Chains A and B, each alone.
Chain A
Amino acid sequence: MPRWGMVIDLDRCSGCQACVIACKQENNVPFILPEQAAKRRTIAWIHIIQLQDERSETKMRFLPILCQHCDRPPCTPVCPVGATYKNQEGLVAQVYPRCIGCRYCANACPYTIKFFNWYPPQWPEEMKKSLNPDVSVRPKGVVEKCTFCHHRLMKAKEKAKTEKRELSPEDYQPACAQACPTGAMVFGDLDDPYSEVAQLSKDPRAFALMEDLGTRPKVIYLRAGA
């Protein structure tokens, strides 16, 4: 079983936000209108955060943050209804109909990348045709987050099956990694020693966010700079 993971090279990343928009288009993420957004209720499964350099006040860095798909996720044990769990693929999954909206998981997540649907999703009639049929639309009152475009994995598996072959890592990548124009995001099997993602994850520049918490994220970052 592959261990799906991602490497984000911060030296390549320019904070252009192509991943952010790609994710929203792919996953039917609802718009949060101005008055609601003012309450910080915007949903963005992947988004860019600004980091201030501690050593110099006039330095800033961009860091794309998304669900880290931890091997030891802090968000799953707190769910009272089993709506969020680590699935067979090792991805942290979210079952929307089970979710009761208690937001324990969102509070337990140290990376704060779980989002609560404060409002029923709304699209103008014209725009409903753009919704991706592979991804369910979330109702009001549930928590949602990055799935590593799990629906793409399901599709790729089915396709491989009908073509009577093994699933190869090239068959599957999430929308953000596909869009990333700087080539900062690399996706693949962390356990396959020959894959690019596994090799990059052993780079001396590699680090994980809040490593000390022992969450063992499957999103690895590469430090910017020489």
Chain B
Amino acid sequence: MQVTRRDFLTFAGFTLAGITLGEWGRSKILAREEYKDTLYSGIGKEEFRLSICGQCPAGCGIVVRLMDGNPKKIDGNPLCPLSRGKLCPKGQNGLQVLYDPDRLTGPVKRKGKRGENDWEKISWEEAINTVSQKLKELKEKQNSYRLLILTQENKGLSGKLWKQFARAYGTPNLVEGNLLRDPGILWASYLMQGIKDYPAYDIENTKYILCFSPFLEGWYSPTWAQRMYGNFRRKRPEIRGKLVQIEPRLSPTAANADEWIQINTGTEAALVLGLAYLIIKEGRYDENFIREHTFGFEDWTDAQKRTHLGFKNFVLQEYDTEKVSSLTGVPIVTIIRLAREFSELNPALAIAEQRPASGGFYLQMAILALNALVSSLDVKGGVIIQREVPFKEFPEVSGSKKESILNQERFSSQEVFPHLTKAILEEKPYPIEIVLIDKINPFSHCFPIINFKEALEKIPFIVSFSPFLDETSLYADLILPDHTFLEKWQDVVPSATLGSPVLGISRPAVDPFLDTKNTADVILEIAHDRDILAYSTLPWKNYGELLKDSLQGIYLSRRGMTYGTSFQGAWMSQMEKGGWWSPTYTNFEEFWNQLLEKGGWWDPFYEHQKWDRVFKTPSGKFEFYSQIFKNQLASIKPSKENSDFKILPHWESVVWEGDENSFPLYLNVFELLMFSAVLNSNQPYLYEHITPHLSVQWESWVEIHPEKAKALGIEENDEVWVESVLGKIKTKAKLYFGTHPEVVSLPLGLSGLSQSSWIKKEISNPNQLVTGNSGNLENKYLRVKIYKA
């Protein structure tokens, strides 16, 4: 070996330093090598396992890359029709949920006062026994209806399990919040089409989108929405989809749009009907479709020989362009141009699902009516209705005859929460004694939570199944932590996206890291106590058994296929169209194995314009004038006056809470792609890149127009108070030209945890300011004031 002068000096220097400085010096010299403790020492066995992303309820299929059994990276499952190998930023960040250092390590019992964050570790046996005991006591006292179950809307088996449990135990109080969709559209779809399901939008195949909601952020399946957006723009040769965004605020979606039209808050429905006015007046609607497949367009006479106002004359009377223009603040020329573009470019699609603040379900009805005018219902590139997954039915149970504390069906979950809170606080019609909370954190999941904390305090026994110590589980008496998604058996039926029914199935990608338990298994274990439920109502030992048994329904339905490439899907679709079906399996075991190997099941075949399937109204047609609604209104409060106005889609002026002088500004809240619907907000990468439209990290903010800020003496990054009649929060001011000068905007979902390894200070929660701001018949919005802290 040749020793150069340089080598010698280096060696000599280090040795000398080592001798003179001793141990302390050596550790200092070698400090730069510190990162070596992360050097890899495994044998490097690489594996890829399938799973389903659990960051939001969308249910995208994923592939997990593991090295020596440790997950290293998550990507989309190329065979999954939803993700097709792609993934949204939340999905990409799934590992920070699995490896979250602040997760609960096992079941805990509250030691101190509620909300004090003082816990005692207990065994699973004790935890389950405590819950069972409480449920048993309640049942013995014939008070089983006093159990409240709070969870997220879930069409898969774990959701069905909760429903069955509630019915069999005898409580009508199962409240499900939807974390991705706007319940307003659910009701519009039910009233006008007779379908109690969320519609899907064929974004990929449409030519023109008139959009009232930031559809690229936190709504729908984000991966799906992004994928469809890309294809809408550039997939088809010679066709480039045009996106027109109509919003009070320049959201990232609006920034991507070809055109952003600023509209006055709460006047969206007026604009939609203003467009309908022009389309009708200029005869641009699809006459054939209107004549054959719709009801209530022209004036009509009912069985009692009473004449009712039709949609056409109603709109022509009420929504002339000049009036609409002055209401919405959109210039007349723009309205005329939009109406012409929308009716000429076919297929065109109008979307207005607004999360978190829906413009009311009349807006959703108006949107469906607008889509109907240009016959964009159940066509390629239009509004479509997803088919159901043919699960095997659960055993019949009678259910409770007791009335739910919500006492009538509500039109949105935004509206449900204030009512629920009120019912619990007032103990009307009866008090709630136990609440089970699963996969939902109303404090950060864009529900109005005013007084919700007080309502929780009122309930004697609170059980949470959250794997994370979020704001809701902080108030629990007992936490039975669930696995995170990579650690458990899962089944997910994604919300309506592509029209075809989809079911994702996956086994655990890794063994559980901590002492947690799958909530579905815990429910079944509790249910097996004969004093709680009859065994026949939930006759499965564990969730795995339930899964396998329910899938028999799909196996026997003799349609669809396990996840496959889009080519295979197209092939199967063609075959089913011709009345053929060729399975890749011969018995149930094979079917089951293939399911796990591919990640799920779907039925790619979708037949457009099957009117009897998509219009289940009394007339069998699309109803501009909803007869279901008419009957419902009549049953709630029968009135002699002509209530046609109430039934037809219309615009109602918004009620603003707070008086104009003390609260001069309007409040707008919005969701972020990075944080909407996540169960665990303790994810550092997401906090580093909260949003692309502002440079902000690790904190919440309020958007205020630069001119307004100047007038109020507020500068960038100033600490400010935002105050409404309901309360006030302290946050940081960001000057943003994209917000309306009279509106301030606050992001939701950032405040899941008060303390964690990364977040040391509390992030103020705008939910505190928000009341039942949406989706209801009353249509209330908030006024605020803003001042320097």
Binding site for B on A (CB under 8 A): 9, 11-12, 14-18, 20-22, 24-26, 28, 31-34, 37-38, 42, 44, 47-48, 50, 57-62, 120-121, 123-133, 137-141, 175, 178-184, 225-226
Which of B85, B96, B262 sits near A178, CB closer than 8 Å? Answer: B85
Shortest C-beta distance, A216 to chain B (Å), equals 26
B70 A129 Cβ-Cβ under 8 A:
yes
Which of B287-295, B460-468, B648-656, B685-693 forms contacts with chain A? B685-693
Within 8 Å CB of B33, what residues of A? 139
Shortest C-beta distance, A66 to chain B (Å), equals 14
Within 8 Å CB of B44, what residues of A? 133
Q: Can you show 10 pairs from A to B with CB atoms below 8 A apart?
A: A12-B230, A12-B234, A20-B689, A33-B698, A60-B250, A60-B738, A61-B255, A125-B101, A127-B99, A130-B72
| Those of B461-480 within 8 Å (CB) of chain A | none
Which of A37, A44, A58 sits near B738, CB closer than 8 Å? Answer: A58
**Known contacts A11-B240, A58-B260, A137-B38; is A18 also within 8 Å of B688 by CB?**
no
A182 B689 Cβ-Cβ under 8 A:
no
Interface core residue of A129, A140, A226 (most chain B CB under 10 Å): A129
B738 A182 Cβ-Cβ under 8 A:
no
A17 B89 Cβ-Cβ under 8 A:
yes
B688 A132 Cβ-Cβ under 8 A:
no
Shortest C-beta distance, B526 to chain A (Å), equals 30
Shortest C-beta distance, B662 to chain A (Å), equals 30
Which of B220-228, B374-382, B551-559, B572-580 forms contacts with chain A? B220-228
**A18 vs B222: C-alpha distance when bound (angstroms):** 10
Does any Cβ of A come within 8 Å of B115's Cβ? no
B250 A58 Cβ-Cβ under 8 A:
yes
A182 B35 Cβ-Cβ under 8 A:
no
**A225 vs B686: C-alpha distance when bound (angstroms):** 29
A33 B227 Cβ-Cβ under 8 A:
no
B67 A179 Cβ-Cβ under 8 A:
no
Binding site for A on B (CB under 8 A): 32-35, 38, 40, 42, 44, 67, 70-76, 83, 85-89, 91-93, 95-96, 98-101, 216, 222-223, 226-227, 229-231, 233-235, 240, 250, 252-253, 255-256, 258, 260, 262, 513, 673-674, 684-686, 688-689, 692-694, 697-699, 737-738, 757-760
Which of B42, B88, B699 sits near A18, CB closer than 8 Å? Answer: B88
B73 A132 Cβ-Cβ under 8 A:
yes
A37 B698 Cβ-Cβ under 8 A:
yes
B227 A183 Cβ-Cβ under 8 A:
yes
Which of A133, A140, A175 sits near B67, CB closer than 8 Å? Answer: A133
**Chain A to chain B: the 6 pairs with minimum beta-carbon distance, closest first:** A182-B230, A133-B40, A181-B226, A181-B86, A124-B101, A15-B692
Shortest C-beta distance, A190 to chain B (Å), equals 20
Shortest C-beta distance, B40 to chain A (Å), equals 4
Which of B86, B229, B253, B698 sits near A34, CB closer than 8 Å? Answer: B698
Within 8 Å CB of A127, what residues of B? 96, 99, 101
**Known contacts A12-B234, A16-B88; is A60 also within 8 Å of B255 by CB?**
yes
CB contacts between A and B, total, < 8 Å = 183
**A124 vs B673: C-alpha distance when bound (angstroms):** 26
A137 B35 Cβ-Cβ under 8 A:
yes
**A182 vs B262: C-alpha distance when bound (angstroms):** 26
Within 8 Å CB of A42, what residues of B? 688, 697
**Known contacts A44-B689, A129-B70; is A11 also within 8 Å of B233 by CB?**
yes
**A137 vs B33: C-alpha distance when bound (angstroms):** 11
A16 B222 Cβ-Cβ under 8 A:
yes
A34 B99 Cβ-Cβ under 8 A:
no
Shortest C-beta distance, A29 to chain B (Å), equals 8
Which of A21, A126, A226 sits near B685, CB closer than 8 Å? Answer: A21
Chain B residue at minimal CB-CB distance from A121: B35
**A183 vs B231: C-alpha distance when bound (angstroms):** 8
Within 8 Å CB of A179, what residues of B? 75-76, 86-87, 92
Interface core residue of B91, B230, B693 (most chain A CB under 10 Å): B230
Within 8 Å CB of B757, what residues of A? 124
B255 A130 Cβ-Cβ under 8 A:
no
Shortest C-beta distance, A157 to chain B (Å), equals 16
**Known contacts A127-B99, A175-B73, A181-B223; is A31 also within 8 Å of B685 by CB?**
yes
**Known contacts A21-B89, A50-B692; is A16 also within 8 Å of B226 by CB?**
yes
**A225 vs B234: C-alpha distance when bound (angstroms):** 10
B87 A139 Cβ-Cβ under 8 A:
no
**A225 vs B88: C-alpha distance when bound (angstroms):** 23
**A180 vs B83: C-alpha distance when bound (angstroms):** 11
Shortest C-beta distance, B624 to chain A (Å), equals 34
B72 A133 Cβ-Cβ under 8 A:
yes
Within 8 Å CB of A124, what residues of B? 99, 101, 757
Q: What 16 new A-B contacts, CB under 8 Å, besides A11-B234, A33-B698, A124-B757?
A: A11-B233, A12-B229, A14-B252, A17-B692, A25-B92, A25-B93, A58-B738, A60-B693, A120-B34, A127-B96, A131-B38, A141-B32, A181-B227, A182-B226, A183-B86, A183-B235
B32 A140 Cβ-Cβ under 8 A:
yes
**A226 vs B239: C-alpha distance when bound (angstroms):** 9
Shortest C-beta distance, B697 to chain A (Å), equals 5
Chain B residue at minimal CB-CB distance from A182: B230
**A44 vs B88: C-alpha distance when bound (angstroms):** 17
Chain A residue at minimal CB-CB distance from B92: A21
